[in-house]
Each structure stands twice: as structure tokens, then as C-alpha cells.
């Protein structure tokens, strides 16, 4: 499944919402890569297997499901997450890109590319819609958490 969407971070038509700087947003995204527990609902544990400064390799636990991934940082505005296939977890790539079309607007583009699990039945198109909506809501939650961390002076 290939899917992408934008989350608007700064909106000049919403003056009561404190804008974030691209640097704050980047630091928040890097923080999520290194410690996703405050950002990801239903994540039970995260173990950093390696941190080179330019990438992190992690093991994420959602109940009995274990996901291993590598996130590569491409500062100041892009990162790539590669998920390793295992059992019911398909291989996937997620690109996260900060976009600033002008000085007042700021967006994050999330691009998903999930490959099917070998031998699995084709995905149900109805279920795919729910998965896409879950991605959108999870990504909006990430931005809300980054905004909260920024308001607390933690970015």
C-alpha cells in the first residue's frame, strides 16, 4: 500500500495556536525516533539497538508483536524509516518530510510504502481505508505531542 498525507503544523489563519519553528519540529521528530513511547499509543516498549547519531535501529513491542526498524536522519527536514519484515509485519518504508512553503506555514508530509507479506492474502480494500485513517490520526497525535513538548520548553 502506498499512501501519503500532509499534517499542517502552522496555519496563519489560526493565530491562537503558537507556531513551531522548523527546528523545533525537527527536534521533536528526532526525539520521537529515539524515544517513541510518549508519542505512540499502544507501544509497550522500545529498545534502542544502535544510535550512530545519523540513524537509530530500534525494537518496538506492541504486546506480542515485535517490530524492528531503522530510522535514518537527513537533517534538517527529512527522515526515512525502514521496517524489517517479520511474521505478520510487512516490510515498509516511511518518509517524513518537513515542508515550509513560506515563512508562515509549516507542514509535515508522511509517505507510507508497505509491501505485502509473502504468502498473505491480498489486502481488503475496506480495511485499507481504516489503516490509512489510523496513520493520519497517529501522525496528528505526533504533531500534538511535539507542540506540547515545545510549549513546555522541552524542544
Q: How many domains does the chain have?
A: 1
CATH code, domain carrying 100:
3.30.530.20
pLDDT tens, the chain, 155 aa long: 899 999 999 999 988 889 999 999 999 999 999 999 999 989 999 999 999 999 999 999 999 999 999 999 999 999 999 999 987 788 999 999 999 999 899 999 999 999 876 666 677 777 888 889 999 999 999 999 999 999 999 98
Sheet containing 78-83, strands listed edge to edge, beginning at the edge strand earlier in sequence: 2-10, 106-114, 92-99, 78-83, 65-74, 55-62, 45-51
Q: What is the pLDDT, as a whole number, of residue 116? A: 76
Q: What is the pLDDT, as a whole number, of residue 115? A: 85
Q: In whole angstroms, what is the distance from residue 70 CA to residue 99 CA?
A: 22
> Where do the DSSP E strands lie in the chain?
2-10, 45-51, 55-62, 65-74, 78-83, 92-99, 106-114
Q: Which of 27, 59, 28, 32 is nearest to 44 (CA)?
A: 59
State the pTM of this model.
0.92
Q: What is the pLDDT, as a whole number, of residue 61? A: 96
Q: What is the pLDDT, as a whole number, of residue 86? A: 86
Task: State how far the alpha carbon of 58 is from the alpha carbons of 9, 47, 150, in Å.
Answer: 27, 6, 25
| Domain with 13 in it | 2-151
Q: What is the pLDDT, as a whole number, of residue 119? A: 67
Amino acid at each position: 500500500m502506498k499512501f501519503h498525507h500532509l499534517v499542517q503544523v502552522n496555519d496563519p489563519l489560526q493565530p491562537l495556536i503558537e507556531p513551531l519553528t522548523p527546528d523545533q519540529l525537527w527536534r521533536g521528530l528526532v526525539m520521537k525516533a529515539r524515544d517513541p513511547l510518549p508519542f505512540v499509543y499502544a507501544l509497550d516498549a522500545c529498545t534502542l539497538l544502535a544510535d550512530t547519531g545519523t540513524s537509530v535501529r530500534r525494537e518496538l513491542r506492541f504486546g506480542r508483536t515485535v517490530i524492528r526498524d531503522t530510522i535514518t536522519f537527513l537533517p534538517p527536514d527529512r527522515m526515512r524509516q525502514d521496517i524489517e519484515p517479520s511474521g505478520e509485519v510487512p516490510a515498509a518504508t516511511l518518509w517524513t518530510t518537513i515542508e515550509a512553503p513560506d515563512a508562515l506555514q509549516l507542514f509535515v508530509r508522511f509517505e507510507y510504502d508497505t509491501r505485502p507479506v509473502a504468502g498473505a492474502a491480498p489486502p481488503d480494500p475496506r480495511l485499507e481505508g481504516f489503516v490509512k485513517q489510523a496513520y493520519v490520526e497517529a501522525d496528528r497525535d505526533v504533531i500534538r505531542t511535539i507542540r506540547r513538548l515545545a510549549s513546555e520548553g522541552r524542544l
